[in-house]
Amino acid sequence: MKKLQQLHFGKRYTKLPEHFYSKIRPTPLPAPYLVAFNRDAAGLIDLHEEEALRDDFAEHFSGNRLPPHAEPLAMLYAGHQFGHFVPQLGDGRAILLGELDNQAGERWEIQLKGSGVTPYSRRGDGRAVLRSCIREYLCSEAMHHLGVPSSRALCIIGSDEPVYRESAETAAVLTRLSPSHVRFGSFEVFFYRGQFDHIRVLADFVIDHHYPEYAKAENKYKLFLGEVTRRTAQLMAHWQAVGFCHGVMNTDNMSILGLTLDYGPYGFMETFDPGHICNHSDPQGRYAYDQQPQVGLWNLSCLAYAMSKLVSETDADTILASYAPHYYEQYVALMGAKLGLFKPGTEDLPLIYSWLELLQQNQLDYSNSFRMLGEFDAHEGALNQKLRDHFADRASFDAWAKAYRMRLLQDQQDDGQRKQHMDAHNPKYILRNYLAQHAIELAETERDYSEIANLLEILRRPFDEQVGMERYAEPAPLSARHLLVSCSS
């Protein structure tokens, strides 16, 4: 493990022409202090966790003190926001320090979110608030431990500097890690400017560094687009399976590596509602839970259009047509595992969908209902009364349970094995909005950061029974079921 001064930041993105970014130094953060530190993410860059105890740690990860040889930059991109093209966006409050290689041969880009004004800030202040940093810090780690591809979070640095959103808040900087921060919108910006050579340069850069198996192929751009399509389809299936709503699926928030990126007004499903809208700024429901798979495809069509000088229309159509098979293959595998099915297939979709309809009709908690289903007794004639009592419409449950029992009997697994398998795929603990909000309120009003650390520890083991932590698995109380989360989150 390394000390801070032993971290040698690479700067491969600066080897691209300066059309792709703007070099910019972070804006100093007044009197920074450590709010939260994630030892797991520190391990990704071989940083010793005791380094977080240093007096100057906050100076390093607020952007006040730059690492040797770093050339910080803000990345340029555009994007379709709520279906409308915005010709120039870019990192308006995030600055890339560079990348670090770890002992495992992985390369992680280090980005400071909330580190000040950039040329792409569009009259913004370039800051993040403590509230939004806590939410992203917790959720990116929660998603990782749920098995969902995601960016990671190293630490939160706070400050008493005032920042104004709906009301006065305090500033913070989140250090996040990702193998790449390139987005669909990174290609779109040059397409709509007619700078097609830049698209080729960027595609070559991404292929060389992240898809090297395609680098020497004659049809490398086609293969690249195909792989991005596959990864995005699988990511959407993961989101649906864990009940995650992103909230702002603009093309500038879509990772070229198929990662969950840019946590804003997200939310995990509680009472199951396929039309659930987690973003108060999305009254039309463009990014509602049940729209996410289709939006993933729509966003890919925008990327394919931006790459139309590299990939023919015929090839792009064929690739986009592969999205649905990729999605359903992953979705069936994930949902089948949640139901305890052995070798699930598309023929199990009616059983899956009818279970979800039951949850919706009976207004039941999504995650907890799957977890309870692990107690199902597959023996003929078993009553499953405890599970049955959760359903107001018991007749509908009985009909579904009969079909479910018949499907389970095909697998010839005993109930104990099946429950063990289901518990490994159905989390007991998810990051419910009211839990995150409680941690935020303690941090904002009392400068008490213990609940952030407590939640992170629980979310590291979401599938485990954790003695004394059962209250964290409970649905939101009535007083907290209508928390509003907007794009400022």
Query: Is the distance from CB of 289 to CB of 245 less than 8 angstroms?
Result: yes
pLDDT for the residue 166: 86
All residues at 6 or more sequence positions from 270 whose CB lies less than 8 Å from its CB, including other chains:
365, 366, 367, 432, 475, 476, 481
Task: Residue 262: name the closest of 159, 111, 85 by CA.
Answer: 111
Q: What is the mean pLDDT of residues 6-19?
A: 93
- In this structure, of 319-323, 415-419, 424-428, the range with the lowest mean pLDDT score is 415-419
Query: Is the distance from CB of 48 to CB of 139 less than 8 angstroms?
Result: no
91 labelled catalytic: no
Query: Is the distance from CB of 175 to CB of 104 less than 8 angstroms?
Result: no
CA atoms within 13 A on the CB side of 7: 25
Query: Is the distance from CB of 18 to CB of 76 less than 8 angstroms?
Result: no
pLDDT for the residue 284: 94
pLDDT for the residue 379: 87
448-483 burial, b at 16+ Cβ within 10 Å, e below that, comes to ebebbeebbebbbebbeebeeeeebbebbeeeeeeb
Q: Which residue has the higher pLDDT, 69 or 110?
A: 110
Prediction pTM value: 0.97
Longest distance between any two alpha carbons in the chain, whole Å: 71
Q: pLDDT digits over 364-380, tens only?
A: 999 999 999 999 999 87
3-class SS shares of the chain: helix, strand, coil, % to 5: 45, 15, 40
Q: How confident is the model at residue 478 (pLDDT cuts 50, 70, 90)?
A: confident
- For residue 122, count CB atoms less than 10 angstroms from its CB and return exposed for 0-12, middle for 13-18, buried for 19 or more: exposed
pLDDT for the residue 412: 84
pLDDT for the residue 383: 77
- Please determine, for residue 483, whether its predicted confidence score (pLDDT) is greater than 80: no
Q: In 307-428, where does DSSP find H-type helix? A: 313-321, 323-338, 349-361, 366-373, 385-388, 394-411, 415-423
Average pLDDT taken over every residue of the chain:
96
Task: Residue 129: name the closest of 481, 430, 443, 449 by CA.
Answer: 443
Helix 323-338 to helix 313-321 angle (10° resolution) is 20
SS (H, E, C) 153-196: EEEEEEEEEEEECCCEEEEEEEEEEECCCCEHHHHHHHHHCCCH
DSSP-based three-state secondary structure for 256: coil
Q: How confident is the model at residue 482 (pLDDT cuts 50, 70, 90)?
A: low
Give bridge partners of residue 183 from the DSSP assignment: 255
Number of H helices, E strands in the chain: 16, 12
Q: How confident is the model at residue 425 (pLDDT cuts 50, 70, 90)?
A: very high
pLDDT for the residue 484: 62
Q: What is the mean pLDDT of residues 465-485?
A: 85
- Please determine, for residue 489, whether its predicted confidence score (pLDDT) is greater than 60: no
| Annotated active-site residue in 252, 262, 282, 365 | 252
Q: pLDDT digits over 133-162, tens only?
A: 999 999 999 999 999 999 999 999 999 999
Q: pLDDT digits over 61-71, tens only?
A: 999 999 888 89
